[in-house]
Amino acid sequence: MSAIPRTAEATSAPQGRGGLAQSVTDSLTIAQRNLIRMVRIPEVLIFGLVQPIMFVVLFSYVFGGSIRIPGAGTSAQQYREFLMAGIFAQTVTFATAGASAGIAEDMHKGLVDRFRSLPMARGAVLTGRTIADLVQTALTLIVLAAVALIVGWRAHDGIWRALAGFGLLLLLGYAFTWIGALIGLSVRTPEAATSGGLIWLFPLTFISVAFVPSENMPAFLRHIAEWNPFSATVVACRDLFGNFPPHYRLPDAWPMQHPVLASVIWSLVIIAVFRVLSVRKYRSATV
């Protein structure tokens, strides 16, 4: 009679202690594991820097001087100032693909199943992964900001407003890593996760005010661009960096008139929604 309970006890996964402290500790442990892996494979960070640096150089020197910015004409220097907030925001959102591929790889190798056999908080694996991706994104932003300074970009409204702008970028990047987590849990291979993590980002970033003003877009695209959460962060950073050209007029859409508040709201909503969906998918995908 006693054999059945012992068998059930042996085959069931250990349960964590629960509580906020346990969740934080487990999440930081998983984040440390991913950061150590990043240090041991530095080419991941290096290759992640190549694309944004290429975008800075191409848009600054190839398109700069050809694209008209209201209030600045076709000034190459003014376009660089206008451009950089968009490049920064694009860089943090493209970290989504790395989060997707990393989680899909852990799933494919069975590491997630091993984590589930440990007495740890259920959401810690995903939270730790997103925290590690946030650290990597911050390092990428530091290098990219240095490159931007070299090509002539400047933040004109003081260090604290500039830091607030970078804080909004990191918040947006963290929000999008939760989207990447859900994608990584929903596909079968890391290759599919990489493709799935990138394909939707191109229309999101280009149907926005990141690289060109919205005023010359068709009406339906202009409304999409102005209510795009990506656009809200871009405009908020331009405001905080002091990168708007003289006499530049913002669109009348609410997110464009209140970009900092809109950026925070969009990012928090994305985190709240996709964290719940990701943790739920994690529980069902690895049972």
Asked if the structure places residue 13 within a domain, the reply is: no
Asked if the structure places residue 68 within a domain, the reply is: yes
Asked if the structure places residue 9 within a domain, the reply is: no
User: Which residue matches tokens 């010359």?
Assistant: 216
pLDDT band of residue 75 (cuts 50, 70, 90) is low
Give the amino acid at 170.
L
Asked if the structure places residue 86 within a domain, the reply is: yes
Cα within 13 Å of Cα(162), Cβ side: 12
CA 193, distance to chain mean position in Å, is: 15
The helix/strand/coil state of 73 is: strand
Asked if the structure places residue 93 within a domain, the reply is: yes
Asked if the structure places residue 8 within a domain, the reply is: no
Specify the number of domains making up the chain. 1
| 71: pLDDT strictly greater than 70 | no
Alpha carbons 231 and 262: distance in angstroms, whole number? 10
pLDDT band of residue 274 (cuts 50, 70, 90) is very high
- Domain ranges, residue 145: 18-285
Reading the block at residue 17, the tokens are 């202690």
pLDDT (tens digit, 9 = 90+) per residue, 214-252?
Answer: 887 898 999 999 999 999 999 999 999 998 877 788 888
Asked if the structure places residue 262 within a domain, the reply is: yes
How many helices (H) and strands (E) the chain has is answered by 13, 0
Asked if the structure places residue 4 within a domain, the reply is: no
The CA–CA distances, whole Å, from 159 to 105, 144, 264 equal 39, 17, 20
